[in-house]
Each structure stands twice: as C-alpha cells, then as structure tokens.
Amino acid sequence: MADPMAGAVPGAAPGATIEAQLERTERAVAAQGRELAQVRQLLETLVQVLIARGDLAAGHARLLERAAAAAGPRRSARLRPYIDKYEVANSAIDCPSLIHLCRARCCTFAVELTAQDIDEGSVRFELDEPYMLRHERDGYCTHLDRATLGCGAYHHRPATCRDYDCREDPRVWIDFERRIPAPMPPGVGAVSPASD
C-alpha cells in the first residue's frame, strides 16, 4: 500500500499535503480536458476531409453528430476538498429568527459534499449528480423539514451548511439589516414554517 504522506513536505500540515495533491489532480483533469478537445477537433476535421474526398457521405457526419448527442455530456462526480466538518465553526446567523423571512432559501443552493459526508452516509446526494446534496422536486434540500424548516440532518450537515453566512448573499437578501429578502428563485416552491 502506498504511503499517503510520500512526497509530503517535511513539517507541512497533512491538510496542506492533501490540498497539493488535489491541485495536481485538478491540473491533470484540466490537461485531459484540453487533450479531449483536441481529439474532438481532429476527428471533426478528419470526417470533413473524408467527406471532401468522397470516402464518406455527408449523412455520415450527421450520424456521428447524432451519436455524440445521444451519448450526452459526460458527468463526473464532484467532491469538495476534505474538511473536517465537525471542526468548522458555525455561522453567526440566528437562522430560527430569520427563517420566516428568508424561507430557508439557502436550502435550495447546490452543495458539494466531502468524502467525510459520503463515508458517514448521513446526508443524501443526487443520484444523477454525485456528490451534490440531494434536492426534492420543490427545489429544497431533501433534509429540510417542510413543517418546521429545520434541518433533519443538522448534527451531520455538510461543512458548507455549517459556515454559510447569508448576510451578504444577494440570492437571500436585498437588505439584510432592514430584513428585506430577495425574490425566491424561479422553480422553487417557497415553504413557510408551520404556525403554532
């Protein structure tokens, strides 16, 4: 088994080593994307040359285009860089006192999960977009209790949810100090906390 600390900078924090490895991986993925774009361009050029020479009919190009469209975009799994979510400080926002105004709109945002979230199995992710926090048809997170607007996975919620501060986010507030919420995003069914 390979040593995960191999190549680590002496005295560097383990998180710095992981971050450096993630940066190398991101650079490699970007390079592969550029290479794939070059291969696609070469293939398109080759098809055009073969059509011009009479080796392929124009219908072959349309057939290749339909095959590419049927394959659809290649989805890749997205994981947020590792963060120990239990060590992330909670935001200073008093959500319970504001929820009747904002209607939990932060629970409509896309949230990348970490390997820690996946390993724990406490939060659900989108099946067709791994590893993004799952949302229901109403646009809200699957863990949002629709009656109370509380989080059903509060103790295990992702790091992004723990440290999110909505005060300066124009998706949530037009004016936080005056408590003027922004309009709800299109396609999101606004929920309201149940009355007592």
What whole-number percentage of the chain has pLDDT above 70?
84
The predicted pLDDT at position 123 comes to 94
- Residue 1 pLDDT class (50, 70, 90 cuts): very low
CA distance 147 to 159: 24
Q: 87-129, pLDDT tens digit by residue?
A: 999 888 998 899 999 999 999 999 999 999 999 999 999 988 8
Predicted model pTM: 0.59
User: What is residue 55's predicted lDDT score, i.e. its pLDDT?
Assistant: 82
pLDDT at 21: 75
Contact (CB, 8 A) for 165 and 93? yes
Rg (CA), the chain: 23
What confidence score (pLDDT) does residue 194 get?
A: 64
Distance CA 27, CA 79 (A): 16
Contact criterion met (CB below 8 Å) for 114 and 81: yes
Where along the chain do its domains lie? Answer: 14-71, 85-181
Residues near 104 by beta carbon (within 8 Å), at least 6 away in sequence: 140, 144, 149, 191
What's the token pair of residue 173? 């507030």
190: nearest Cα among 137, 134, 140: 140
Mean pLDDT of 17-35: 75
